C-alpha cells in the first residue's frame, strides 16, 4: 500500500489510505455535494426573499392602483351627482319654480288704486317672461264686523300653478277675521288676539285647501307664498309666509322688513331635517325653493308631525309695529320677482324718488315692475305701494331735475346714432354706450334701467324702420 498522493483538484485527504483512488474520490464527492447543497440552499433562500419582496411590491402597487381607481370612480360619481343636481336645479328653475319662458315678455299690466282710512294705495302686476301668471293680490280698505277703520293688503306668489294663490286672494282674509282667536272677547281685538288670529287663519285655510285637494284626488299640487299687512288705527301687522317680502319706510329709511323663509335658514333647515327631509342645492329635498308656503301638500304628509312641523310649514311670521303718524311714509309689498333684482334700500330709495315727481301711485308701481324687468327679472312681478299721510310729496325741484334728465338722455341718444355714420346702431349698442357714461341725477336704485322707456321712445322715433329681429323688449346682453 502507498500513501495517497494528490487527489482530484490537488486535494490529498490527510491520514487516508488510497484504495484504487475510490475512497478519495468518494470523500471529495461528499464534500463537494455538501458545499453545493449549502450554496444552492442559500441561493434558494435568497431567491425566495427576492420573490417575496417582488410579490410585496406588486401587492402594494396593486393596492395603490386600486385605491387610485376607486378614488377616480368616487370623483366621477361625485361629479355625476353634481351634474345631475345642476341639471335638476335648472329644470326645476325653468319648470316648477320659474316656469317655461316666453320668447318675449308680456308687459301688459293689471293696475288698481284706492284710498281710505288715511291711506292711499296703488298696485301693479305683470306676467313678464313667464308662460303663466301665477301671482295674485288683495287690497281691502275697511273690514267688516266693526273693523271699518282697518285695512288689509297682500301679495301671493304662486308656484307650480295659480290655484292656491287665487284661492287665498279670495278667502284668506275671511279665515283670519272670522276665527275665534282673532275675535277674542268683546270689543276690538287685542294685539295678541290679532297675531294669534292671523296664525290660526293661515292654518285653517291651508287645512281647508288640503281637504278640497284630497276630494279632487290630489289634483292640485300648487302652492303660494304670502306677504301682507293688516293696518289698524294704532298698529301695522306684517305677515309673511315664504320668500315674498314687505318693508316699511319710516323717516326716509327702511325701518322694518320681513325675513325670507328659505330652506337654508338654520331654523328652517332644522325643522326640515326633523321631518325626515334634507336641504340640497338650497331647496327642500332638492326641489322646492321656499320652506314655508300655503298649499304644496306633497311636502306636508309626514306622519306624526303637526302642520307646523312638516317639510313645508304654512305658519306665518307676524310682527306688530306701532304706527307713527309723523314718521311712517309708505309700505311696499312685493313678490320675489321684484326682490331678485332690487335690494331693500334700493327699492325704498327708488320709490321715494318717484313719489317726488308724481302722485300717481299706479304709475310708480308700473315704473317699479318695468325697471325690474329691465334689470333682468325673469319671474312674474307684483307690487303694492301703500302710502301714509306723511309720504313724500311731489317736489317742483325734483320734477325739474327729472325733465332735465329726460332731455339730456334724448340728446345723447341722438348723438350716439349720428356718430355711428352708416346705418343705425341697435338699441343694445345705445344702452351699453350710455351705461358706460357717468350720467348725473339718475333715479337712485333704478339707475339707467329706470329710464329704458325714455331711451327706447327716442330710439324708435329716430329709427322708425328698425329691424324687428332686434326686439327692444329683450334684456339679454343689454348691459
pTM for the model stands at: 0.78
List, for the chain, all residue ranges whose pLDDT scores fall below the cut of 50: 1-9, 15-19, 83-98, 468-477, 479
Burial zone of 18 (CB within 10 Å; 0-12 exposed, 13-18 middle, 19+ buried): middle
In a domain, 89, yes or no: no
Asked if 59 and 158 sit in the same domain, the reply is no
Given this model, what pLDDT does residue 252 score? Answer: 93
In a domain, 479, yes or no: no
In a domain, 469, yes or no: no
Residue pointed to by grid coordinates 282697518: 150
Asked if 374 and 401 sit in the same domain, the reply is no
What is the phi-psi region of residue 57: left when phi exceeds 0, alpha when psi lies from -120 to 50, beta otherwise?
Answer: alpha
Asked if 133 and 5 sit in the same domain, the reply is no
| 427-459 pLDDT tens trace | 888 999 999 999 988 999 999 999 999 999 999
In a domain, 79, yes or no: no
Given this model, what pLDDT does residue 369 score? Answer: 97
What is the phi-psi region of residue 107: left when phi exceeds 0, alpha when psi lies from -120 to 50, beta otherwise?
Answer: alpha
3-state SS string for the chain: CCECCCCHHHCCCCCCECCCCHHHHHHHHHHHHHHHHHHHHHHHHHHHHHHHHHHHHHHHHHHHHHHHHHHHHHHHHHHHHHHHHHHHHHHHHHHHHCCCEEEEEEEEEEEEEEEECCEEEEEEEEEEEECCCCEEEEEEEEECCCEEEEEEEEEEEEECCCHHHHHHHHHHHHHHHCCHHHHCCCCCCCHHHHHHHHHHHHHHHHHHHHHHHHHCCCCCCCEEEEEEEEECCCEEEEEEECCCEEEEEECCEEEEECCCCCCCCHHHHHHHHHCCCCEECCEECCCECCCECEECHHHCCCCCCCHHHCCCECCCEEEEEECCCCCEEEEEEECHHHHCCCCHHHHHHHHHHHHCCCCCHHHHHHHHHHHHHHCCCCCCEEEEEEECCCCCCCCHHHHHHHHHHHHHHHHHHHHHHHHHCCCCCCHHHHHHHHHCCCCCCCCCCCHHHHHHHHHHHHHHHHCCCCCCCCCCCCCCCCC
Given this model, what pLDDT does residue 90 score? Answer: 42
d(CA 436, CA 433): 5
Burial zone of 105 (CB within 10 Å; 0-12 exposed, 13-18 middle, 19+ buried): buried
Rounded to whole angstroms, the maximal C-alpha distance in the chain is 152
Dihedral (CA of 8, 9, 10, 14) sign: negative
Dihedral (CA of 204, 206, 212, 215) sign: negative
Q: Are 245 and 340 in contact (CB under 8 A)?
A: no
Residue 403: give its domain's CATH number: 1.10.10.430
d(CA 282, CA 287): 9
Planar angle of CA 375, 376, 378, nearest 5 degrees: 140
Quick one: which of 38, 32, 34, 2 has its CA closest to 18? 2
Q: Are 292 and 312 in contact (CB under 8 A)?
A: yes
Identify the bridge partners of residue 115 per DSSP, sorted by sequence position. Answer: 120
Given this model, what pLDDT does residue 17 score? Answer: 45
Among the candidates 394, 409, 428, a domain finishes at: 394
In a domain, 95, yes or no: no
Among the candidates 339, 364, 394, a domain finishes at: 394
Mean pLDDT, the chain, whole residue set: 86
Asked if 383 and 420 sit in the same domain, the reply is no
Asked if 23 and 171 sit in the same domain, the reply is no
Range of the domain at 403: 397-462
In a domain, 86, yes or no: no
Q: Are 94 and 289 in contact (CB under 8 A)?
A: no
In a domain, 353, yes or no: yes
Asked if 409 and 386 sit in the same domain, the reply is no
Cα torsion for 188, 190, 191, 194, to the nearest 10°? Answer: -70
Residue pointed to by grid coordinates 330709495: 349
Grid cell, residue 225, equals 307664498
Asked if 23 and 146 sit in the same domain, the reply is no
Asked if 363 and 402 sit in the same domain, the reply is no
Beta sheet of 381-387, edge-to-edge order: 101-116, 119-130, 381-387, 328-334, 245-250, 253-257
Count of domains in the chain? 3
Q: What percent of the chain has pLDDT over 70?
A: 85
Planar angle of CA 125, 128, 132, nearest 5 degrees: 85
Grid cell, residue 183, equals 275675535
| 212-221 pLDDT tens trace | 888 876 667 8
Among the candidates 71, 91, 120, a domain finishes at: 71
Q: Are 192 and 415 in contact (CB under 8 A)?
A: no
| 69-100 pLDDT tens trace | 888 877 776 665 554 444 444 444 444 444 57
Asked if 218 and 261 sit in the same domain, the reply is yes
Grid cell, residue 406, equals 329726460
d(CA 41, CA 394): 111
Asked if 361 and 425 sit in the same domain, the reply is no
In a domain, 96, yes or no: no
What is the phi-psi region of residue 146: left when phi exceeds 0, alpha when psi lies from -120 to 50, beta otherwise?
Answer: left
Amino acid at each position: 500500500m502507498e500513501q495517497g498522493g494528490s487527489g482530484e483538484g490537488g486535494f490529498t485527504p490527510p491520514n487516508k489510505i488510497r484504495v484504487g483512488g475510490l475512497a478519495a474520490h468518494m470523500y471529495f464527492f461528499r464534500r463537494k455535494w455538501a458545499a453545493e447543497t449549502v450554496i444552492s440552499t442559500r441561493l434558494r433562500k435568497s431567491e425566495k426573499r427576492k420573490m417575496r419582496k417582488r410579490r410585496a411590491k406588486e401587492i402594494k402597487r396593486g393596492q395603490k392602483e386600486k385605491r387610485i381607481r376607486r378614488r377616480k370612480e368616487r370623483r366621477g360619481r361625485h361629479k355625476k351627482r353634481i351634474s345631475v343636481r345642476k341639471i335638476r336645479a335648472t329644470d326645476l328653475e325653468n319648470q316648477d319654480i320659474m316656469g317655461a319662458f316666453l320668447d318675449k315678455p308680456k308687459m301688459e299690466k293689471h293696475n288698481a288704486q284706492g284710498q281710505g282710512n288715511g291711506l292711499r294705495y296703488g298696485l301693479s302686476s305683470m306676467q313678464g317672461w313667464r308662460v303663466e301668471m301665477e301671482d295674485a293680490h288683495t287690497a281691502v280698505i275697511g273690514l267688516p264686523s266693526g273693523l271699518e277703520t282697518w285695512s288689509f293688503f297682500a301679495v301671493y306668489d304662486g308656484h307650480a300653478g295659480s290655484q292656491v294663490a287665487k284661492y287665498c286672494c279670495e278667502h284668506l282674509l275671511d279665515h283670519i277675521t272670522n276665527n275665534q282667536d282673532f275675535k277674542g272677547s268683546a270689543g276690538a281685538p287685542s294685539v295678541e288676539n290679532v297675531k294669534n288670529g292671523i296664525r290660526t287663519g293661515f292654518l285653517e285655510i291651508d287645512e281647508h285647501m288640503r281637504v278640497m285637494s284630497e276630494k279632487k284626488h290630489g289634483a292640485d299640487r300648487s302652492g303660494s307664498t304670502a306677504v301682507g299687512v293688516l293696518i289698524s288705527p294704532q298698529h301695522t301687522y306684517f305677515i309673511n309666509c315664504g320668500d315674498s317680502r314687505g318693508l316699511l319706510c319710516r323717516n326716509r329709511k327702511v325701518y322694518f322688513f320681513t325675513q325670507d323663509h328659505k330652506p337654508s335658514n338654520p331654523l328652517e333647515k332644522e325643522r326640515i331635517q326633523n321631518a325626515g327631509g334634507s336641504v340640497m342645492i338650497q331647496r327642500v329635498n332638492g326641489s322646492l325653493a321656499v320652506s314655508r308656503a300655503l298649499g304644496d301638500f306633497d311636502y306636508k304628509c309626514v306622519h306624526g308631525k303637526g302642520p307646523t312641523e312638516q317639510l313645508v310649514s304654512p305658519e306665518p311670521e307676524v310682527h306688530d309695529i306701532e304706527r307713527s303718524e309723523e314718521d311712517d311714509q309708505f309700505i311696499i309689498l312685493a313678490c320675489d320677482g321684484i326682490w331678485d333684482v332690487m335690494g331693500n334700500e334700493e327699492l325704498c330709495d327708488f320709490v321715494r324718488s318717484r313719489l317726488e315727481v308724481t302722485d300717481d301711485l299706479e304709475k310708480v308701481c308700473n315704473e317699479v315692475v318695468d325697471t325690474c324687468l329691465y334689470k333682468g327679472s325673469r319671474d312674474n312681478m307684483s307690487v303694492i305701494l301703500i302710502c301714509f299721510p306723511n309720504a313724500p310729496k311731489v317736489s317742483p325741484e325734483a320734477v325739474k331735475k327729472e325733465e332735465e334728465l329726460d332731455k339730456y338722455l334724448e340728446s345723447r341718444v341722438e348723438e350716439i346714432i349720428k356718430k355711428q355714420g352708416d346705418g343705425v346702431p341697435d338699441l343694445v349698442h345705445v344702452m351699453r354706450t350710455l351705461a358706460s357714461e357717468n350720467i348725473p341725477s339718475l333715479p337712485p336704485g333704478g339707475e339707467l334701467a329706470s329710464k329704458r322707456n325714455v331711451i327706447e321712445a327716442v330710439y324708435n322715433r329716430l329709427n322708425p324702420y328698425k329691424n324687428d329681429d332686434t326686439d327692444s323688449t329683450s334684456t339679454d346682453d343689454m348691459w
